[in-house]
Structure 1
Amino acid sequence: MPISKSRESPFDTRNERGGDRLLQIEAVYDKVPVGLCYINRNGIFVTINDQLSRMLGIASDKAIGQPVEDILPDHAPLLRESLKAALAGATIPDQEVQRAEETFMVSGAPVTNDLDEFTGISVAYTNISNLKKIAQKLQEIEQRTSYALESAGQWIWDLNIATMRVWRSPQYRTLLGLDPNGGEKDSVAWDIVHPDDKAQAVQAFEDVVSGHKSHFEAVYRVQRGDGGDAWILSRGKIVEYGPDGSPLRLLATSVDISAQKLVEEQLSTTVQLRLELEQKLLEANRKLKNQSERDHLTNLPNRRKFSHLLKREFVRATDSGETLTVLMVDIDHFKAYNDFYGHLAGDKCLIQVGRALNKVIKQSDGSVARFGGEEFAALLSGVATDQASEIAVQMLDAISAMQLEHRDSPTGMISVSIGMAALNDASRATVKGPDDLLNLADSALYESKRNGRGRLSIWAATRADPHDVI
């Protein structure tokens, strides 16, 4: 009894077309320096890379196919909210999460299929524990530096709020390299603040005077004696109030934080460079992965990639009871073609044949690869056996329609021979593994060659030998 075509292709995550997209995702996930996973719109893990497995201490083989609540119950609400946001077309916010003693930055991005339909989210876990420690260390350094500067020349200033006149301790002029004997005992408030920073400093002062904030704090630039600018951090509070409760005096300290600002700028630059390097590494790994699984001549998947897909789809077909078909395709008399027309023409012939086969197979959501030399291999998942044989015949017709001249062929034209084998209800007892299916398709291919080439032979579990279809 014919098996109907599966609603789910081998390259989909939720009954939608999207093979190329998932292949791209898997290619990216393989060897990247961050933890990555792909969660479909139902909250099911589809892909988890080794890095994330190590980072979170989860087994990818046990996690794939399971809901996020079963695998990461403490992160499940966050992941569900990310799915909800992506589905609504909203931006997925980055969030920090804790696991054991480590801190991770979790970032998400929506994934769509070839029809631009939302299929799930790609989630990246970046371990920021070291960055958090660095930030904490910088805070400790700032505190120690402030205490050291206090004893070494930090200045104190006292602002009379009624007159807006300020007194500064002598250390102010020494610290900034000004003439210790110059200047007045008091001056107008904010007169030393850089014009571009004055509004910010005044606003911080007004927040304290109005009672909106309990302490004054402002960062601004002041001019050094050598003409350059120093970054100053000022902190203080109201120390005197009038009988009516109005503020009278603001007492504060100021410290030169130019060195800290430099560290912050350097750290910011370092983080930016790291992000850029990580992005370049991702791109390089993506290209390397793609190159390692592509035939350089035809740009089709190579034998390594085909073997990976066959193993994966065989397991899926075995578990689901669906049909899986392998087609082995060989260009007839190709050695003679190369000898007569030359290798450049032979390469062109391989490219043209590959394109024609790929055009036919893609119409059924299948995959075709260059298996080696003049041999190609195709994979059809969830396609009934009789329908698969029709697709194979379409391949024969597509090559014939190309009308590529081949003087050393009996037909005078390029043709192909095809062998087909299927994992279905009739063959499950015989076909035990993906290699069995591949070998049976290969045997059927040689039957096509023995019977005159340019035809299709099908292996069937009910027959001792493959039999010709056309």
Structure 2
Amino acid sequence: MPSSKSRNSPFDTQNERGGDRLLQIEAVYDKVPVGLCYLNRDGIFVTVNDQLSRMLGVSSDHAAGRSVEDVVPDHAALLRASLVAALKEKPIPDHKMQRGTETLMISAAPVTNDLGEVAGISVAYTNITNMTQISERLAEIEQRTTYALESAGQWIWDMNIATNRVWRSPQYRTLLGLDPASPAAENVAWDIVHPDDKARTIEAFEDVVSGRKPHFEAVYRVQRGSGGEAWILSRGKIVEYGPDGSPLRLLATSVDISSQKQIEEELSLTVRLRMELERKLLEANRKLKKLSESDHLTSLPNRRKFSRLLKREYERARDDGQPLALLMIDIDYFKAYNDVYGHLAGDRCLVQVGRVLSKVIGKGTGVVARFGGEEFAALLPGASVDEAADIAATLLEAVTGLQLDHEDVPAGRTSVSIGISALAQLPPSTQDGADALVNLADRALYEAKRAGRGRVRVWGSFSTD
């Protein structure tokens, strides 16, 4: 009956053969670019390579001889579950783990002692944070072929460059779902490569043969025996040259990267969907902003938008010493219009008046907005008082020209009254000048109404007594 020490510690240095095996594994561990460790059946770290030490932020000396709970408490349960699966001879699934800003793939495989018993697990940590995942995954698979070549999904091939023939190891038949019992044979190079990928693959080969590149690397599709396609990554180098320096043999390995390709495609789809979503969100935000700044009835800028424009233009005109005029426009007897013709007709009246005001003001650099109720406001950057008065007179004529019946007023037609104020009328010490312009134009508008409506008044051109 084997001792518990032999059973639990297959690589104990007291056992000469076990010690040699441990030294071999440690030598292999230190040469690979992925994080590797060996846990015995009790969940104790036996060996940890330098790469894993850096990943986990612990030294190999600190980890060796300690339990997973002591060294990696954040995912000790995962390692314990993998160890239990190995001891029960059940498949050990791969797991992803987020560690800070990095994503790690954790893979484990059972390790047996000289008696064929499971003595622990070999665990590999691969950084799959970015698209270097393919090469890192390949390194991990190559390491795991030490224990199970078939599970690595890898084959070796040797190409005779002179004859353009290639020998492939039997594993490629298993990987592609072909009959593994078929004898290995030499085939024409690139015969298994998908037609659409062949030119690119041969170009990569010619780059190596010509010396333009030191290594061969190509990604291409091959047909599976059961149907469908597999994505293959092949890497190799020239290993034999003739006396004249011409390349004779290319030795390479191939590995199935279909799962990585699927991840790339899913990621690409996710990126496209996200970009489309962002585009739609930006468009929706633009529409929402426009709606929030527009009057729902006339589609003109609302008071909020007008106030922001007024403040901006006021500050610009004040700083640059440029003229600026403001018009407050009110539909005369509008309440009576609603009472006589109804609110729907009143809405149509507002829309028509707003449209004609916008048409006149829009010929220049000004902007007209619905200020509230039956009142509109027009901002005229660069306009003097006289120019503003001319524009106001044109507005009066344009509204009258609509010939909207209004039987409850003396003229019998809808009209507007307009009050004008200008930046030049404000004292230099005026505070809140934008609001002051509105107040002065309002007072001028009041004077226009008091004088009989359907007319224009400029602030400062009438008595305020």
Indicate whether the TM-score tops 0.5. yes
Per the alignment, do residues 427 and 362 of structure 1 end up closer, same or farther by CA in structure 2, a change over 3 Å counting? farther
Which structure has the larger Rg over C-alpha atoms? 2
Pairwise CA distance, 1:337: 0.8
1:393-432 matched pairs, under 5 angstroms:
393-424=393-424, 427-430=427-430, 432=432
Matched, 1:144 2:143: no
Q: Residue type matched to 2:131 in 1?
A: Q
For 1:137, what is the secondary structure of its paired residue? coil
Distance (Å, rounded) in 1 between the aligned partners of 2:362 and 2:170: 82
Q: Residue type matched to 1:170 in 2?
A: P
String of CA shifts for 1:422-449, please: whole Å, max 9, x gaps: 1116644457521111011111111111
What is the aligned partner in structure 1 of residue 87 from structure 2?
Answer: none
Residues 128, 136 of structure 2: 8 Å contact kept:
no
Pairwise CA distance, 1:200: 2.4
Per the alignment, do residues 351 and 180 of structure 1 end up closer, same or farther by CA in structure 2, a change over 3 Å counting? same
Q: Residue type matched to 1:286 in 2?
A: R
Matched, 1:311 2:311: yes
Distance (Å, rounded) in 2 between the aligned partners of 1:426 and 1:222: 81
Residues 400, 414 of structure 1: 8 Å contact kept:
yes
Residues 322, 424 of structure 1: 8 Å contact kept:
no
Residues 216, 237 of structure 1: 8 Å contact kept:
yes
Pairwise CA distance, 1:136: 7.6
For 1:363, what is the secondary structure of its paired residue? coil
Pairwise CA distance, 1:226: 1.6
Distance (Å, rounded) in 1 between the aligned partners of 2:380 and 2:227: 75
Pairwise CA distance, 1:174: 2.4
Q: Residue type matched to 2:185 in 1?
A: K
What is the aligned partner in structure 2 of residue 73 from structure 1?
Answer: none
Distance (Å, rounded) in 2 between the aligned partners of 1:257 and 1:213: 23
Distance (Å, rounded) in 1 between the aligned partners of 2:155 and 2:196: 22
Residues 426, 433 of structure 2: 8 Å contact kept:
no
Q: Which moved more, 1:159-168 or 1:181-190?
A: 181-190
Distance (Å, rounded) in 1 between the aligned partners of 2:458 and 2:195: 85
What is the aligned partner in structure 1 of residue 464 from structure 2?
Answer: 465
Pairwise CA distance, 1:154: 1.7
Per the alignment, do residues 432 and 190 of structure 1 end up closer, same or farther by CA in structure 2, a change over 3 Å counting? closer
For 1:452, what is the secondary structure of its paired residue? coil
Distance (Å, rounded) in 2 between the aligned partners of 1:257 and 1:430: 74
Distance (Å, rounded) in 2 between the aligned partners of 1:183 and 1:219: 26
Distance (Å, rounded) in 1 between the aligned partners of 2:300 and 2:326: 16
Per the alignment, do residues 383 and 193 of structure 1 end up closer, same or farther by CA in structure 2, a change over 3 Å counting? same
Aligned residues: 334
What is the aligned partner in structure 1 of residue 83 from structure 2?
Answer: none
Distance (Å, rounded) in 1 between the aligned partners of 2:228 and 2:136: 25
Pairwise CA distance, 1:265: 0.7
What is the aligned partner in structure 1 of residue 154 from structure 2?
Answer: 154
Q: Residue type matched to 1:353 in 2?
A: V
Distance (Å, rounded) in 2 between the aligned partners of 1:403 and 1:184: 97
Pairwise CA distance, 1:141: 2.5
Distance (Å, rounded) in 2 between the aligned partners of 1:305 and 1:356: 20
Distance (Å, rounded) in 2 between the aligned partners of 1:314 and 1:136: 57
What is the aligned partner in structure 2 of residue 25 from structure 1?
Answer: none
Q: Residue type matched to 2:384 in 1?
A: A
What is the aligned partner in structure 2 of residue 67 from structure 1?
Answer: none
What is the aligned partner in structure 1 of residue 36 from structure 2?
Answer: none
Distance (Å, rounded) in 1 between the aligned partners of 2:206 and 2:429: 85
1:234-383 matched pairs, under 5 angstroms:
234-383=234-383
Q: Residue type matched to 1:440 in 2?
A: L
Q: Residue type matched to 2:289 in 1?
A: K
Per the alignment, do residues 437 and 425 of structure 1 end up closer, same or farther by CA in structure 2, a change over 3 Å counting? closer
Pairwise CA distance, 1:376: 0.6
Structure 1 vs Structure 2: percent identity of aligned residues? 66
String of CA shifts for 1:334-381, please: whole Å, max 9, x gaps: 111111111111111111111111122122321111111111111111
What is the aligned partner in structure 2 of residue 197 from structure 1?
Answer: 197
Distance (Å, rounded) in 2 between the aligned partners of 1:139 and 1:294: 47
String of CA shifts for 1:87-133, please: whole Å, max 9, x gaps: xxxxxxxxxxxxxxxxxxxxxxxxxxxxxxxxxxxxxxxxxxx99xx
Per the alignment, do residues 323 and 242 of structure 1 end up closer, same or farther by CA in structure 2, a change over 3 Å counting? same
Residues 330, 416 of structure 2: 8 Å contact kept:
yes
- RMSD (Å) for aligned C-alpha atoms: 2.3
Select the structure with the greater relative contact order (CA < 8 A; seq sep ≥ 6): 1
Q: Residue type matched to 2:464 in 1?
A: D
1:2-81 matched pairs, under 5 angstroms:
none
Residues 155, 255 of structure 1: 8 Å contact kept:
yes
Distance (Å, rounded) in 1 between the aligned partners of 2:347 and 2:254: 76
Pairwise CA distance, 1:227: 2.1
Unpaired runs of 5+ in structure 2? Answer: 1-100, 103-126, 146-151
Distance (Å, rounded) in 2 between the aligned partners of 1:444 and 1:381: 19
Pairwise CA distance, 1:232: 0.6
Residues 459, 465 of structure 1: 8 Å contact kept:
no
Pairwise CA distance, 1:219: 1.4
For 2:346, what is the secondary structure of its paired residue? helix
Unpaired runs of 5+ in structure 1? Answer: 1-129
Distance (Å, rounded) in 2 between the aligned partners of 1:431 and 1:173: 86
Q: Which moved more, 1:213-222 or 1:339-348?
A: 213-222
Per the alignment, do residues 294 and 153 of structure 1 end up closer, same or farther by CA in structure 2, a change over 3 Å counting? closer
Distance (Å, rounded) in 2 between the aligned partners of 1:316 and 1:362: 20
Residues 421, 438 of structure 1: 8 Å contact kept:
yes
What is the aligned partner in structure 1 of residue 112 from structure 2?
Answer: none
Q: Which moved more, 1:202-211 or 1:423-432?
A: 423-432
String of CA shifts for 1:276-331, please: whole Å, max 9, x gaps: 11110111011111111111111111111111111111111111122221111111
Pairwise CA distance, 1:464: 5.7
What is the aligned partner in structure 2 of residue 456 from structure 1?
Answer: 456
Per the alignment, do residues 359 and 195 of structure 1 end up closer, same or farther by CA in structure 2, a change over 3 Å counting? closer
Distance (Å, rounded) in 2 between the aligned partners of 1:297 and 1:155: 72
* TM-score of the aligned structures, taking structure 2 as reference length: 0.68
Distance (Å, rounded) in 2 between the aligned partners of 1:171 and 1:322: 83
Pairwise CA distance, 1:244: 1.1
Distance (Å, rounded) in 2 between the aligned partners of 1:383 and 1:323: 6
String of CA shifts for 1:226-259, please: whole Å, max 9, x gaps: 2221111111111100111111110111011111
Pairwise CA distance, 1:149: 2.3
